[in-house]
């Protein structure tokens, strides 16, 4: 109790209020004072609220407020108001520590909440993998969840040297996987799985137009397999190669489109899909623990397929066997940003790529994902919306307002997230605490690596439980399942072509795109010679013609595409397919190449697959002197999709001073686009051109 002269007693501090609501605001509205940390402060304020005239209580409150204000000012921690009160949080039974806050309390995530996904984000070299090693080396985590980690580095091998993790960790090389390509999970019919397989392939390789064709052929092939055996990837590739369809038909285009991707997948996955039946996935998902799949030699698109294949297999199994899912299954995607990039959403019908779809569809089935990525804005919007725990180790290139919106910070805290040091982290986990908190984490005491003999010995123990069988099928009667026998596709393996045929194949495959007339003039052929040679190549299925209207009466242009068989012949002669400018098909790529020539002739730079706040036009021309830009989009197959993109662009501020051009395949496509624009009452003037407008006369 303070002793004062009642005659000279004054209350100079602004917090000495007679209104009880203003006293209560010290606890509710002044989080920077952290008065809730000490129960004595709460009791003191309650006493002042009960007797506002008690000047002694007011004086003590004045001292406490001044002290807490100085502590906040000298702490240098902009997250000071965000921390929960000391010992306020009671961790659940499945709590996993991630960081230690400056208050001394621990913070992290729970195993059960990971079904709603988590994100660990930082630029290269900031310690993402080091951070993830902490929870993955926690025995409690491994004993209560099946964790599948995909990595392109060998940074998890040291886990095998930790005695506490013995029997809980397996490190598998890519060639040790035994995956049956067409074998469905238990209680799932073959046709349902073939449909899922077609969707997975179409989504991962952008083969949406070939999805139905692949589904039909996979069911046809399965009907030829003996009971108890399922088609493997190699069989499917051979089956598609032997299909009899005329080279000029749309069916053949579908066949070649899907065949190109599956051939590449088969050649780059080291035979892991060459099993007609196997219980590998059944054994893998049946017990808790950590399984690391090392796939450093696998291209990103094939790794994306492998991840999606395994996720979807387990999803279908749990969906058709509900009630038996006792183990939480978590997929850790290390450096697999491309799999959930918003470009993948943009390229997929419905706007949801395969991995993102699994992220929100697996919630109720006990499945989740831990994403380890480099950028926050690069993630798809749907992926960001389905993340329950954000772990930030550094966001140096992100917009501060965007950071505030995503992890509930103020601008000062957002700037802090850009300059975090190694070993520091910001976590926003609303399932445990409603505000983002700052803390530090230690480097786990785990060896960097282990011997390959040790890894293989542990892997052999796991693989001893796997029974996989490779099936060598008898000759399949293709005539009974394929198309018209009169449409027989000639064999090209031992085909002998003349010098004229080889010359025009090389001319089409190299250099800039040339319309047919210019191509024939370059070769020095008259119309009769050219028609005879081109007809021969088309009948052999080595080239395919694409014709476009010029928008004028009687006007039509023709460009030739090299087919898969044609590229096989050219590859043998040292001529290879150039790198694509976009992710589209031949006509989309043709438009991109013509646009590139057009823009460069204007003296401007061009950039493909640009990003405008989530919208991805196909290209942008840039004036290096003034910085002015001009956006272009190529419309080939879906008029409504192009109008959707136009609508999104017109809703942005950048559309007021930056032109936008839609390049349509032909006049019919442009006419349909204009009709949809009129139906949607879009009155802004849109620059619409035809592909033929970019072809030099």
Q: How far apart are the first and last CA of the chain?
A: 98
Identify the residue with better confidence: 280 or 576.
Answer: 280
Bridge-partner residues for 369, per DSSP? 331
Residue 553: is its pLDDT beyond 80? Answer: no
pLDDT tens digit string along 573-615? 888 888 888 777 788 888 889 999 999 999 999 998 887 877 7
Residue 165: is its pLDDT beyond 80? Answer: yes
The structural domains of the chain, ordered by start, are 1-75 (no CATH), 109-460 (3.40.50.300), 490-572 (1.10.10.10), 586-694 (3.40.1350)
Residue 395 CA to residue 95 CA, distance in Å, equals 26
Per-residue model confidence (pLDDT) at position 383: 85
pLDDT tens digit string along 360-373? 888 889 999 999 98
**Proportion of the chain above pLDDT 90, given as a percent:** 25
**Proportion of the chain above pLDDT 70, given as a percent:** 85
pLDDT tens digit string along 11-64? 444 444 445 666 666 666 566 666 666 676 767 777 777 667 767 777 777 777
Residue 81: is its pLDDT beyond 70? Answer: yes
Mean pLDDT lowest among 357-371, 485-499, 565-579, 670-684: 485-499
Per-residue model confidence (pLDDT) at position 414: 93
DSSP single-letter state for residue 619: E
Structure tokens at 641: 């999709």
What dihedral angle (degrees, nearest 10) is formed by the CA atoms of 506, 508, 514, 520? 70
Say if CB 255 and CB 216 are below 8 A apart: no
Per-residue model confidence (pLDDT) at position 325: 65
The pLDDT-based confidence of 1 (bands split at 50, 70, 90) is very low
Per-residue model confidence (pLDDT) at position 151: 87
- Which residues are CB-neighbours of 464 under 8 A, at least 6 positions away? none
Residue 88 CA to residue 281 CA, distance in Å, equals 43
Identify the residue with better confidence: 145 or 186.
Answer: 145
The pLDDT-based confidence of 329 (bands split at 50, 70, 90) is very high
Residue 488: is its pLDDT beyond 70? Answer: no
Write down the residue that tokens 């087919």 correspond to: 563
pLDDT tens digit string along 85-136? 777 788 888 999 999 998 888 999 999 999 999 999 998 888 888 999 999 9
Average pLDDT over residues 384-401: 91
Residue 489: is its pLDDT beyond 60? Answer: no
- Which residues are CB-neighbours of 287 under 8 A, at least 6 positions away? 146, 327
Average pLDDT over residues 470-490: 42
Question: pTM value?
Answer: 0.68
pLDDT tens digit string along 400-449? 999 999 999 999 999 999 999 999 999 999 999 989 999 999 888 888 78
Per-residue model confidence (pLDDT) at position 448: 79
pLDDT tens digit string along 182-214? 999 988 999 999 999 998 888 888 777 788 888
DSSP single-letter state for residue 90: -
Say if CB 293 and CB 148 are below 8 A apart: yes
């Amino acid at each position: 109790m303070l002793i004062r002269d009642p005659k000279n007693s004054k209350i100079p501090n602004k917090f000495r209020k007679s209104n009880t609501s203003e006293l209560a605001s010290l606890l509710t509205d002044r989080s920077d004072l952290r008065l809730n940390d000490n129960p004595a402060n709460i009791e003191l304020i309650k006493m002042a609220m009960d007797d506002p005239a008690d000047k002694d209580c007011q004086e003590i409150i004045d001292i406490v407020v001044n002290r807490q204000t100085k502590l906040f000012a000298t702490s240098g921690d902009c997250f000071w108001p965000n921390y929960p009160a000391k010992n306020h949080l009671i961790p659940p039974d499945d709590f996993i520590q991630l960081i230690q806050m400056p208050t001394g309390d621990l913070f992290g995530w729970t195993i059960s909440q990971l079904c709603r996904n988590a994100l660990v984000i930082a630029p290269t070299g900031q310690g993402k993998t080091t951070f993830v090693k902490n929870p993955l080396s926690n025995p409690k985590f491994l004993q209560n969840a099946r964790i599948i980690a995909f990595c392109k580095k060998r940074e998890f091998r040291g886990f095998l040297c930790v005695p506490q993790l013995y029997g809980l960790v397996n490190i598998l090389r890519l060639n040790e996987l035994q995956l049956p390509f067409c074998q469905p999970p238990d209680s799932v019919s073959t046709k349902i799985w073939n449909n899922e397989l077609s969707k997975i392939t179409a989504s991962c390789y952008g083969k949406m137009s070939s999805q139905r064709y692949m589904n039909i052929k996979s069911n046809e092939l399965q009907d030829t397999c003996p009971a108890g055996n399922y088609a493997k990837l190699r069989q499917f590739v051979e089956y598609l190669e032997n299909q009899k369809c005329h080279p000029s038909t749309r069916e053949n285009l579908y066949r070649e489109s899907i065949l190109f991707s599956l051939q590449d997948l088969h050649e780059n996955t080291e035979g892991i899909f060459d099993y007609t039946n196997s219980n590998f996935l059944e054994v893998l998902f049946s017990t808790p623990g950590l399984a690391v799949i090392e796939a450093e030699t696998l291209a990103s698109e094939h790794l994306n397929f492998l991840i999606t294949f395994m996720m979807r297999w387990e999803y279908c199994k749990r969906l058709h066997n509900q009630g038996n899912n006792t183990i939480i299954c978590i997929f850790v995607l290390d450096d697999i940003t491309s799999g959930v990039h918003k470009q993948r959403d943009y390229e997929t019908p419905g706007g949801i790529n395969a991995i993102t779809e699994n992220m929100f569809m697996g919630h109720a089935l006990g499945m989740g994902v831990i994403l380890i990525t480099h950028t926050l804005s690069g993630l798809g919007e749907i992926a960001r919306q389905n993340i329950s725990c954000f772990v930030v180790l550094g966001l140096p290139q992100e917009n501060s307002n965007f950071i505030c919106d995503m992890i509930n910070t103020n601008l000062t805290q957002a700037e802090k997230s850009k300059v975090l040091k190694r070993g520091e982290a910001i976590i926003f986990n609303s399932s445990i605490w409603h505000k983002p908190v700052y803390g530090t984490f230690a480097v786990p005491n785990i060896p960097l690596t282990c011997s390959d003999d040790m890894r293989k010995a542990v892997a052999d123990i796991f693989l001893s439980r796997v029974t996989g069988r490779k099936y060598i099928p008898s000759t399949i009667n293709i005539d009974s399942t394929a198309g018209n026998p009169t449409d027989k596709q000639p064999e090209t393996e031992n085909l002998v072509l003349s010098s004229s045929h080889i010359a025009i194949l090389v001319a089409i495959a190299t250099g800039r795109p040339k319309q047919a007339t210019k191509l024939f003039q370059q070769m020095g052929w008259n119309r009769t010679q050219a028609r005879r040679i081109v007809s021969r190549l088309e009948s052999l299925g080595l080239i395919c013609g694409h014709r476009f209207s010029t928008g004028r009466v009687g006007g039509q242009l023709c460009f030739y595409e090299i087919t898969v068989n044609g590229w096989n012949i050219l590859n043998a002669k040292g001529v290879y397919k150039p790198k694509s400018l976009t992710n589209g098909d031949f006509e989309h790529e043709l438009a991109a190449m013509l646009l590139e020539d057009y823009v460069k002739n204007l003296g401007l730079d061009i950039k493909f697959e640009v990003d405008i706040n989530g919208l991805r036009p196909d290209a942008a021309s840039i004036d290096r002197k003034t910085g002015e830009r001009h956006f272009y989009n190529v419309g080939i197959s879906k008029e409504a999709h192009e109008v959707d993109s136009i609508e999104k662009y017109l809703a942005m501020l950048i559309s007021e001073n930056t032109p936008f051009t839609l390049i349509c395949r032909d006049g019919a496509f442009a006419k349909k686009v204009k009709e949809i624009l009129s139906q949607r009452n879009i009155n802004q003037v849109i620059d619409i051109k035809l592909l033929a407008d970019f072809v030099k006369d």
